[in-house]
Amino acid sequence: MDRPSAKNREIDLLDPDEVRRLMAACSRRAPTGIRNRALIALLYGSGLRVGEAIALRPKDLDLDGLAVTVQAGKGDKRRVAALLPDAVDAIQRWGDRRAAAGVGARAPYFCTLAHAAAGPLPTEPGGALAREYVARVLKRLARRAGIDKRVHPHGLRHSHADLLRRRGFDMQQIRKQLGHASLEITGRYLDHLGSNDLSERMRTIGAVLTPTPPEASLAKELHALLERLPTTVVAQLISIVSRRMPG
């Protein structure tokens, strides 16, 4: 049996509540917990690729301006991505802890703080994080948070794109945010995510296959009539009805 390709693999999108639970699963005291919480906030809050995020330097983050500069994105292109306002606090807290540890400005923003000779990925203070490490951390945090979905770094990018679409950003804005070369790529990307707002819009249609109660039909007709009348006339009608209603 053929395995599904990565392109056709099912995508698990995280909603804002699940992202908050993922962040809450990080320690608020341990330096690694503060760093990982900040990294999740940045990945979801900006839609950066994990490679772009772990390559950031302090000078690339303008938290006051809600801007993140990717110096060499896909295709070695430079771009500026916007950042969710409520991602700033977690990212700034890590920056403060990083500075207190004496890590210099030339080191990656999301860096290691301690020596670790054991394990498959030995580290030095100020060293870059590995993509494999980020993937392992997200899986562990997802289990701790009770999130029964496939949680991985690129999934946070998917979830960011889905958030923008649901909040009304147009395709050109999403293309610029994600760093896609063309609108066609962004269109395919959004289609691949699967979710859209059609279901929510369907709810606004109301009952079609079930009989409409007479009073509901009358209320609908009255509402349509009032919308066609001038505002002053509507105000006068409301005043007359109010006076005639029993107190």
Q: Is 158 designated active site? A: no
State the catalytic residue, choosing from 35, 37, 165, 180: 180
Q: How many Cβ atoms sit within 10 Å of the Cβ of residue 154?
A: 13
Q: Is 20 designated active site? A: no
d(CA 166, CA 178): 15
State the catalytic residue, choosing from 79, 152, 176, 189: 189
State the catalytic residue, choosing from 37, 49, 158, 165: 49
Q: Is 149 designated active site? A: no
**Per-residue burial over 1-14, b = 16 or more CB atoms within 10 Å of its CB, e = otherwise:** eeeeeeeeeebbbb
State the catalytic residue, choosing from 74, 93, 97, 176: 74
The kind and range of the H/E element at 176 are: helix 171-178
What does DSSP say about strands 79-82 and 61-62: parallel, antiparallel, or unpaired?
Answer: unpaired
Q: Is 59 designated active site? A: no
State the catalytic residue, choosing from 59, 154, 188, 220: 154
Three-class SS of residue 118?
coil
Residue type, 190: L
Residue type, 73: G
47 — alpha (psi -120 to 50), left (phi > 0) or beta? left
Q: Is 160 designated active site? A: no
d(CA 165, CA 155): 15
Q: Is 74 designated active site? A: yes
Of 9, 53, 6, 18, the C-alpha closest to 141 is: 18
Structure tokens at 76: 């070695």
State the catalytic residue, choosing from 35, 37, 98, 157: 157
Question: What are the Cα distances from residue 78, in Å, to 31, 38, 131, 181, 182?
Answer: 30, 22, 20, 12, 15
Which residues are identified as catalytic?
A: 49, 74, 154, 157, 180, 189
